[in-house]
Amino acid sequence: MPQANPLRLLNAAGQSVWYDNIQRSMLSSGMLARLIAEDDLRGITSNPTIFEKAIAGSGDYDEALRRELQRAPRQSSRDLFFALAIEDIRAAAEALRPTHDATDGVDGMVSLEVSPDLAHDVGGTVREARELFARLALPNIMIKVPGTVSGLRAVERLIAEGVNVNVTLLFSVERYVAVAEAYLRGLEQRRAQGLPLERVASVASFFVSRIDTALDPILAQRRPELQGKIANANAKRAYREYLNIFAGPRFAALRAAGARPQRLLWASTSTKNPAYPDLLYVDNLIGPDTINTMPPATYAAFRDHGAVAPTLERDVDEALARLAALPDLDIDLGAVTDRLESDGVRAFVESFENLLAAIEAKTRVLGL
């Protein structure tokens, strides 16, 4: 009897499997359709770095770029990018629409990020997110908004307007709690206006592995046994907060009006240190009503040898004790997560600028 697919088992256990990658060849080759059919893939996430690699690193988009420029020759490289990206996002969302329908709107989501240079611009983020959501005009689209301080204000406004939001680049538990509260405020504003809550969807993308990457060199000198242990501990603490918030009386009133929880999504779940297990940030964070968006190598590894067990609520007291030990080691986790957020925004802005430059170069090469 063939062995059960671990990815399918993970979905059946209550944690949705999403894929942290998109490129045109996935769509044209039938690869995405196979992942949905064979693995029960339930969502797609993208970011500026993914699109930079897809568009700048291949010729897959040259014909579409030529066609788009012939249609509207005076477009900026930014406009061209969104025209290309929207084609991919729409095609992926249409492929996942049956999943969205079958899960009553819980899964089947595809995420597109606002321009990363808007990370600290509330009005700009709201305008662009609103525009992208309207252009795509599909119920299973999420607009990614960085969870900066400015981003929180944008999230609240967008949720109140009924825009589905994936809040990204979350590293600290404190910022995650602020994101969840922004979601609740947006829902409360919507309810006060007499607007429906049933189909407003949101996830909070909590980045995992980069915490260990940042802290391990320090811990190697001060508490080596804590290396590779803090990132998952931080995620488990975030999940405890999730349970408290969405089992509490404030959300109960919203749930009664039709609202759904803002699920936690584990992002940055590839293992950066080759000395660690390749599924360190997947196997240890399995729990109900969560999502793990896996990059291709991690996705393939879990399909091959992933183990499905309810690990997210296991050893939580030990995880909290590890976090509590950091101040005595002169490690300020808040300062580390602040730096990771600013570094993450900067890296996405750099990828976006490189992508726009590559599009400009392609238009010259194509003679357009």
pLDDT digits (tens, 9 = 90+) for 192-230: 999 999 999 999 999 999 999 999 999 999 999 999 999
pLDDT at residue 236 in the model: 98
- How crowded is residue 160: how many other Cβ atoms within 10 Å of its Cβ? 19
The pLDDT of residue 250 is 97
Indicate whether 1 belongs to any domain.
no
Question: Mean per-residue pLDDT for 86-95?
Answer: 97
pLDDT exceeds 80 at position 252: yes
What is the spatial distance between Cα 186 and Cα 259, in angstroms, rounded to a whole number?
11
Q: What is the pLDDT of residue 310?
A: 97
Instruction: Tell me whether residue 357 is in a domain.
Output: yes
Whether the per-residue pLDDT at 317 is higher than 70: the answer is yes
Which residues fall within 8 angstroms of residue 49, CB to CB, at 6 or more apart?
Answer: 347, 348, 351
The predicted structure's pLDDT at residue 333: 98
Residue 97 to residue 365: CA distance in whole angstroms? 37
pTM: 0.96
Alpha carbon of 286 to those of 13, 156, 344: distances in Å? 8, 28, 25
CA-CA-CA-CA torsion for 285, 274, 207, 60, nearest 10 degrees? -110
Confidence of residue 73 (pLDDT cuts 50, 70, 90): confident
pLDDT digits (tens, 9 = 90+) for 327-338: 999 999 999 999
Inside any domain, residue 36: yes
Q: Taking Cα atoms as reference points, which of 298, 296, 312, 276 lies closest to residue 54?
A: 296
Task: Write the CA distances from 123 to 8, 77, 128, 155, integer angstroms.
Answer: 41, 22, 9, 11
Nearest 5°: the CA angle 207, 146, 22 is 70
Which amino acid type is present at position 241? E
Dist. CA 256–CA 281, nearest whole Å: 34
Express each pLDDT in 54-72 by its tens digit.
888 888 898 999 999 888 8
What are the C-alpha distances in Å from 218 to residues 125, 310, 317, 319, 343? Answer: 36, 31, 23, 18, 18
- pLDDT tens, 264-309? 999 999 999 999 999 999 999 999 999 999 999 999 999 999 999 9
Determine, yes or no, domain membership for 130: yes
pLDDT band (50, 70, 90) for residue 1 = low
pLDDT score at 59: 85
Residue 188, CB-side half-sphere exposure with 13 Å CA sphere: 11
Active-site residue, 362 included: no
The two three-digit tokens of residue 300, written as one number: 């393939």
Could you tell me the CATH number of the domain that includes residue 269? 3.20.20.70
Cβ–Cβ < 8 Å for 65, 77 = no
Predicted confidence (pLDDT) at residue 153 exceeds the cutoff of 90: yes
Number of domains in the chain: 1
Q: Residue 315's Cα: distance from chain center in Å?
A: 26
pLDDT at 324 over 80: yes
Range of the domain at 195: 6-365
Residue 319 in this model has a pLDDT that exceeds 90: yes
Among residues of the chain, what percentage have pLDDT more than 90?
Answer: 90
What integer pLDDT is reported at residue 150 of this predicted model? 97
Is 294 among the domain residues?
A: yes
The larger pLDDT score, comparing residue 31 to residue 69, is at 31
Q: Tell me the pLDDT of the chain averaged across its residues.
A: 96
Stated as kind and residue range, the H or E segment containing 278 is none
Catalytic residue (one of 53, 144, 236, 362): 144
> Considering the domain boundaries, does residue 17 fall inside one?
yes
Does the pLDDT of residue 365 top 90, yes or no? no
